[in-house]
Amino acid sequence: MSDIPSPLQCQIVVWHVNPGDTVRAGDVLVIVEAMKMEHEVRAPHAGRVCECFFAAGETAAEGDILLRVEALAPGAQAAAGVPEPVAAPALPSGASRPDLQRVVDRHAFTFDTSRPEAMAKRHALGLRMARENIADLCDDGSFLEYGALAVAAQSTRRSADDLVRNTPADGMVTGIGSINGRLFGAGKARAVVMSYDATVLAGTQGKRNHQKTDRMLGIALANKLPVVLFAEGGGGRPGDVDVPTVAGLFVPTFASFARLNGQVPVVGVVAGRCFAGNAALLGCCDVVIATRGSNIGMGGPAMVEGGGLGVYTPEQIGPSPVQFTNGVIDLLVDDEEQAVLAACRYLSFFQGRVKDWLAPDPAALRHVVPENRLRAYDTRQAMAGLVDQGSLLELRSGFGLGIHTALARIEGRAIGLLVNNPLHLGGAIDADAADKAARFMQLCNAHGLPLVSLIDTPGFMVGPEIEEQAQVRHVSRMFIAAAHLRVPFAAIVLRKGYGLGAMAMAAGGFHEPMLMAAWPTGEFGGMGLEGYVRLGFRKELEAVPEGPQRDALFAQLVQARYDMGSAINMAATLEIDAVIDPAHSRDWLVGALESAAQRSALPHVPAIDAW
């Protein structure tokens, strides 16, 4: 005989058995209710119900005996008419509960295939759907979409069916996925991914997609996840009337997005048109990747015309050739496929060290700098010869041509490269090059990448015209950025190391870097040798008749200064650390950066200028 107690204080809802009934183990005996939730009381074993102590509607305390069941011996069960337990029938393959089916059906409207006309129109433009880009960016099956069931806040002017069918996800696909997981493992590869959907209300910023964006930005900041934003779209949306606002200028999205600066890598990708609010978010990104057919501007044609500034087509506003040469675009690519690949490559530099790498032929570096000290050459050859094969990713190559900035790896470790370009202004640093270099130092500093500087510069650019460009302020940004570095810094002078420009390329002075070395071709001075001689020895030169005699004296004085400022003499006076065989440059850099690796832990998070 077994007494069945009440599991909790409850009210009897309905009895499933009566005295005299036979039951199997696990059969439901009675349904009780507590706190608006129903609970099943089941038979602990097979037997016969002897007595029920409460009626439906009555209240029982926890532990009260609800009923008594007489256990039956196994042989007696069949005689008493107790049936054998029957296995629950299996659901047919693919069958779904009604509640689950409603969710499945609702999600179907978010699929690209549910809008074949929009997809066909998009593809006819040579562009991809938002989810196609995300699928290409993220590792297979890794993307978890947040807010997929959102629709535009326009229920007072459109039907529910219309909103579900035509405003899926409110024009903004957001979620978390794994990028480069094959290289670094899923844990290190997680990132927040957000894409405006240009096929939904022109990719405009709606009330709910702002909410979705804010939610994802909070997750990214709290969990230190990189962010990739596909920013195509037309800015704010005026038609979302469900949420009453006047101007809507309290939206936190822009402040929240900017707050990621220096905290996590933020990548912006653009194909097509990106105007107004979408462009404002893009401008906050660490790096901007854009296709050749893109247009980027703080106002689209309607806003320009509304401001009385003329009538223009979208293609006339901020075309990619303009935005690439003025520095807005960091990486210019042919199409979205290349843009996604570039985003993956860029992020990989901030995800860890790679195990597999190939070193270039080190001997090739011995021939990069011409023996003729006046001959121009391409320092990109030095960049390629120093870093792991295939790892070089140059940024902002259309702007600030006097300095190359690039991400790369040496023995699998990510670094930033800062390199003078003698093919532009002889390597002199102008305002644009200084801006480019200063921001790049901030970028590497914020995300913990060591910096390697390859120096070949006659100094800062001078002259009346250059000073009209606020040269004094622009070039000084390099000193300020370098003074705030918390990452290892190593420098090698390839040829010219003159004046303040060379000091700026060496983090502010030749004893600031962890390593300050020179190739045998290095030459040094407070200013260019020829200018130094013309200014410092003007009387001696003017004392000699013009012509071959003066030219010979000039050459003699220049050679004397060259000998004095040679790399060997600089090392002998300890102004630099070493003169090295170019073929040994990688070894020197590896040793220096490994020795300083502990400095990569940043005590604070510095900002990265938008410019």
Domain limits, the chain: 2-79, 107-348, 362-522+566-597, 528-565
Is pLDDT of 593 > 80?
yes
- What DSSP element (H or E) covers 588? helix 585-595
User: Cα separation of 396 and 380, whole Å?
Assistant: 14
Measuring CA to CA, which residue among 388, 461, 377, 390 is closest to residue 419?
377
CATH no. of 2-79: 2.40.50.100
- What DSSP element (H or E) covers 13? strand 10-15
Tell me the average pLDDT across 393-422. Answer: 97
pLDDT in tens, 148-173: 999 998 989 999 998 999 999 999 99
pLDDT in tens, 491-511: 999 999 999 999 999 999 999
- pLDDT value of position 222: 96
For residue 457, the cross-strand partners are 497
- pLDDT value of position 81: 57
Sign of CA dihedral 567, 571, 574, 580: positive
- Let me know if the fold of 107-348 is the same as that of 362-522+566-597: yes
Is pLDDT of 606 > 60?
yes
- pLDDT value of position 582: 98
Is pLDDT of 378 > 60?
yes
Q: What is the layout of strands, in order, in the sheet containing 65-71? A: 2-5, 65-71, 47-52, 22-23
Is pLDDT of 312 > 50?
yes
Is pLDDT of 283 > 80?
yes
pLDDT in tens, 230-268: 999 988 888 888 887 777 788 899 999 999 999 999 999
- pLDDT value of position 600: 45
Tell me the average pLDDT across 210-239. Answer: 94
State the pLDDT confidence band at 601, using cuts at 50, 70 and 90: very low
Percentage of the chain beyond pLDDT 90 is: 76
pLDDT in tens, 438-460: 999 999 999 999 999 999 999 99
pLDDT in tens, 83-110: 555 555 555 566 678 988 889 988 998 9
Percentage of the chain beyond pLDDT 70 is: 95
- pLDDT value of position 27: 95
Residues 6+ apart with CB under 8 A from 502: 455, 457, 459, 493, 496, 510, 524
User: Cα separation of 396 and 326, whole Å?
Assistant: 9
588 Rama sector, left if φ>0, alpha if ψ -120 to 50, beta otherwise: alpha
Q: Which residue has the tokens 């001078």?
A: 462
- pLDDT value of position 125: 94
Is pLDDT of 558 > 90?
no
Task: For residue 404, count CB atoms less than 10 angstroms from its CB and return exposed for 0-12, middle for 13-18, buried for 19 or more.
Answer: buried
State the pLDDT confidence band at 74, using cuts at 50, 70 and 90: low
What fold does the segment set 107-348 form as a domain? 2-enoyl-CoA Hydratase; Chain A, domain 1 (3.90.226)
Q: Which CATH class is domain 362-522+566-597?
A: alpha beta
Is pLDDT of 290 > 60?
yes
User: Cα separation of 128 and 336, whole Å?
Assistant: 7
Is pLDDT of 532 > 90?
no
Mean pLDDT, the chain, as a whole number? Answer: 92
